[in-house]
Amino acid sequence: MSDHDLLDRFSQAILDLDSKKLPAQVQQQTKLLILDSIGCALTTLDEHEVTEAVEAIESTGGAPQATVIGSKGKTSVANATLANGILVRYLDLNDFTLGMGKSGISIGGHPSDNIPVALAAGEWRKSSGADVIASIVAGYDVFERLRAVFDNKGRWDGTTVSGIVAAAMTGRLMNFDVGKMSNAIALAGMRSATPRLVRRGHITAAKFLANPLIAQTGVTSAILANGGMTGPRAILDSPDGLRGLFRENADFKHLSAPISEPYAINLAHVKAFPCLATGQAETAAAIQMHKVLGGRTDHIENFEVIMADYEMVHDQQGDQDRRYPDSREAADHSFYFLAAVGMMDGTLTMRSYDNARWTDPVVTALMAKGKMATDAGWNTKAPNGYPCAIKVTLKDGTTHRTEVAYAPGHSHGSLDETAVVEKFTRLTGGVLSSAEQEKVRDAVLQLEKLDSIAPVMEMVADKRK
């Protein structure tokens, strides 16, 4: 297969997905993920960093093509993709998937980071709700196919693939043919490579900015391809292209397979807590420990966080910059902080990070009593999750253990509508009235029947205090 054939067949597979033939369960899964993403975005509207970022984006102007969630007026589709991407991603509360490596679970990703692409491009192109849903379904499959061959041990961050995902989603909504889609992917691919540094060591705002910036590039690349611009067709597997991003033995044939059962979107899980995916079960176990101890964490002599014995877990546990985080972005990736706050407070919300909580002497003193461990038993006991146990030894020598095999929000192949709606209601209670929550919920859950995504976006505009 030539490089030209590879890219064209990949593009054809993306375009062949028929919005009218998607199973009802897949449509439902997609709508729930849209609702969850909108909830994550709305709850960040008054966060300082988010406000600064959105105001900076809006200050550049732009044709009134698409809505920025919470804001008045509209901006360009590329700017709306960037702004809404920041809103969705900021709290680290949007969905996640699990990667599967040769030795078990590996680093997954957050494909809903690219739902803002479909919302912005769909509004701009006046796409039907069914077409927006199909664009997202295709985006999840492209994301997972690329992540399946991505070299997680290399120097590049997994968000790199989102440039191609965003170009593919936008190209579908712009009714591209194979030629335009291939050029959009090629242009996006050459501008999307992102170093692992955004998620390692001293974690900065780049953690939540990376994917929105990459997705914006993908949207812009599609617009350029629509204008006749061309890109390097050998981008995926040429040594001079992106080949170095993927595993040495990567087989790209699966890229051109039809998008069909099992749909990648069914692999998505919804987060219960604003922290990294591998910290979800840990946080739930820490909250259970709070109940066991009655909140008396001052009685703790030491504690141990025991996770599955996977290479990626060892890598995250061994990152010493996470032991004493120095930013909000680092704190929500710190197993020590999550365990300490969960046991102290009996909850973890976005308010748990207020006032640089990770620097509170009481919190840091408890963090200092923790250590990390793995247990291969978890690998078989909960093979499709990020399980965790917490063992606490008190000053009087007594011990307690709590464990969570599958974190709240783990889908097991199909999301729970009640749980997703409850999360949306809880997150947006300070932004939307009960009547507004109901309108947004009903519109999203009937999206396939709408002629346009525009009414939904109008419902979530102009909500800043």
The whole-angstrom distance between residue 190's C-alpha and the CA centroid of its chain comes to: 22
SS3 372: strand
Domain-wise residue ranges, the chain: 3-271+426-459, 277-404
Q: ∠ CA(343), CA(288), CA(90), 5° rounding?
A: 65
Do the domains at 3-271+426-459 and 277-404 have one common CATH topology?
Answer: no
**Contact between 279 and 273 (Cβ < 8 Å):** yes
**CA atoms of 442 and 416, how far apart (whole Å):** 16
* CA nearest to 388, candidates 350, 461, 338, 347: 338
Domain 277-404 sits in CATH at 3.30.1330.120
- Distance, CA of 194 to CA of 208 (rounded, Å): 13
Its CATH class, for the domain covering 3-271+426-459, is: mainly alpha
Q: At how many degrees (to 10) do helices 162-173 and 3-16 cross?
A: 60
User: In the prediction, which pLDDT does 106 show?
Assistant: 61
Q: In this structure, are residues 327 and 202 in contact, taking their beta carbons and an 8 Å threshold?
A: yes
Per-residue pLDDT of the chain (465 residues; tens, 9 = 90+): 445 689 999 999 999 999 999 999 999 999 999 999 999 999 999 999 999 999 999 999 999 999 999 999 899 999 999 999 999 999 999 999 987 655 556 667 899 999 999 999 999 999 999 999 999 999 999 999 999 899 888 899 999 999 999 999 999 999 999 999 999 999 999 999 999 998 877 889 999 999 999 999 999 999 999 999 999 999 998 899 999 999 888 889 889 999 999 999 999 999 999 999 999 999 999 999 999 999 999 999 999 999 999 888 988 888 887 888 999 999 999 999 999 999 999 999 999 999 999 999 999 999 999 999 999 999 999 988 899 999 999 999 999 999 999 999 999 889 999 999 999 999 999 999 999 999 999 999 999 999 999 999 999 999 987
Output the pTM of the full model: 0.94
Question: Cβ(126)–Cβ(152) under 8 Å?
Answer: no
